[in-house]
Structure 1
Amino acid sequence: MQATIYYRGKLSSCNYSCPYCPFSKTVDSKETLMQDREQLERFMEWVREQQHYGHQLSIFFNPYGEALVHSWYREAMIELSHMSHVNKVAVQTNLSVKLDWTAQLNPTKVSFWATYHPEQVREDRFVAQAMTLYQQGIVFSAGTVGLREAFPAIHRLRARLPEDVYVWVNAFKDRPHYYSEAEVEELSGIDPYFRYNLQDYDSLGQSCQAGEHVFYVQGSGIVKRCYQDKRVIGHLYRHSLEKLSQDRPCQMKTCGCYIGYIHMKDQPFDSMYGSHLLERVPQSYRTLSTAMQR
């Protein structure tokens, strides 16, 4: 079967200190980091075994914190990108780590979801990192949280990155009715898909790929239907993917995060993003990229 695995290990710390993020206030102990590494090694063993069963996998690393500052995540991405039964390996990252290792990646299978934190990194530095990926032919999207104080930085980021790089804006939803209609229009001028992220989706009882072909895996092997839905549906190292896979309607009232609502079956995101759904690159930008290369 074809399956998407969201993997989140023991890691719960970040090298940035964004005030709105709880993981910026956590420092992992040596013991925690060792456990995180051991968990990832066990997960990699499982991935290797899946070739024997004929499974095709897409893997997305979305840790609590920044993964790529740790060598075991970089090494895992390199290996996964060269596995014949892995269709894609993607990662959420702030792009703070040196990118000399990315030359070892298979650029046809790897992708980056790069989050820009204008209060944590110089603009020139982030743009240079993004352009390194661009020049290597690695697919990526870039963006940030749409806080009002970040609007000028968001405009500059859009202006400095190539036209065929999708720049997304995550809606700030901690405060209800945060944006005026004029601000929504302004952000939509940067991210034409901003309104899709701005809304929450009625999801209770709705059919979703989560729990059927999409699985949220914790480092210990516990498998949940969705990162928000707390139901445990099995264990990765005790149950086969076939046994884990069931049509499981959502039990949450609403779904408001990109990595959740994109898998709802009655929404248009599969057709909008196609094979670049995980890394958040719309089809229109891939078409633009192809046209610009001619």
Structure 2
Amino acid sequence: MKAVLYYRGSLSSCNYDCPYCPFGKTKDSAATLAKDRDQLAAFVDWVTAQGEAGHRLSIFFNPYGEGLIHRWYREAMVTLSHLEHVDKVAIQTNLSARLDFTSELNPAKAAFWATYHPGQVRGERFLAQCTEVYRRGIPFSVGSVGIRSAFPAIASLRAALPEEVYLWVNAFKDRTDYYTAEDITFLSSIDPHFQINAVDYDSLGARCNAGSSVFYVQGPGLVKRCYKDRGVIGNLYRDGLEGLAAERSCRMKVCDCYIGYIHMPELGLEQIYGSGLLERIPYGAGRIVQ
């Protein structure tokens, strides 16, 4: 079976304090960190064993908080990137961690989804980290939330990044009618696919690969069809992929987040992103030019 697994453990702390994020500048206890480490180790062991079962897997880590500042996430990325039956291992990260470990990654399978947080990090520092990832040959995309106060920083980053590195912009949806026509033109000049993200997709009852070949795994092995759907469909370690997989239509009224709507077949977004769908790298972008 070919499947995509999103993984989120018990980690709920971050070294940034973004005002819109409930995990900003929070600190997990030693017990919570140990629990997260053990959960991730169990997940990596399970993924490792799936080669014998004939499964091909793509993994995306999207923790609450920043994973790469913790050794066990770096080690998991390295281990999984070298497994023959793992096609992709990617992580959502603010790129604040040391990047020495990337020399151990398999660049043919590892990738970063790097989020830029103006106000949390100097633009020069974030650009330096991007440049280091680029130099090391790891595919990555870069992006930011498109709030108006961030427009100058986003434009500056776009001008400084290599042309082939894709910079995405997440639409700010907390306020209706937030963008003017001029704003949309500006953001589309930065991100040619901005208007894909600016839409909320009617999804109730719609077909989606979530729950059939895409699964959202929580630390103890609980599996949900979709990260926004609170319903638990089983346990990864008890039921396995065969026991979890079933055609399940969406139970949410709308789908408004990239990691959700990309799995709606009717949108055909694999035609834009191809093998870079998970880490948000479109065809012809984000690939390292040697």
Shorter-chain TM band: over 0.9
Q: Percent identity?
A: 61
CA distance in 2, matches of 1:4, 1:252: 20
CA distance in 1, matches of 2:234, 2:44: 18
Corresponding residue of 2:231: 231
Matching residue's letter, 1:113 = W
Deviation (angstroms), 1:284: 3.1
Q: Which residues of 2 match residues 108-119 of structure 1 at below 5 A?
A: 108-119=108-119
CA distance in 2, matches of 1:283, 1:49: 32
Corresponding residue of 1:180: 180
CA distance in 1, matches of 2:37, 2:285: 35
Structure 1 vs Structure 2 CA RMSD = 1.0
Listed as ranges, the gaps of 5+ residues in structure 2 are: none
CA distance in 1, matches of 2:220, 2:240: 16
CA distance in 1, matches of 2:53, 2:160: 45
Could you say what secondary structure the match of 2:32 adopts? helix
Q: Which residues of 2 match residues 1-294 of structure 1 at below 5 A?
A: 1-285=1-285, 289=287, 293=290
After TM superposition, what 4+ stretches of structure 1 lie above 2 angstroms from structure 2?
none
TM-score under structure 1 normalisation? 0.97
Deviation (angstroms), 1:160: 0.3
Q: Deviations over 1:133-155 (max 9, x none)?
A: 11111100001100100000000
Matching residue's letter, 1:21 = C
Deviation (angstroms), 1:26: 2.6
Matching residue's letter, 2:147 = L
CA distance in 2, matches of 1:49, 1:79: 13
Matching residue's letter, 1:5 = L
Listed as ranges, the gaps of 5+ residues in structure 1 are: none
Deviation (angstroms), 1:25: 4.7
TM-score under structure 2 normalisation? 0.98
CA distance in 1, matches of 2:280, 2:127: 18
Deviation (angstroms), 1:124: 1.0
Matching residue's letter, 2:48 = R
For these two proteins, the number of residue pairs brought into alignment is 290
Deviation (angstroms), 1:285: 1.6
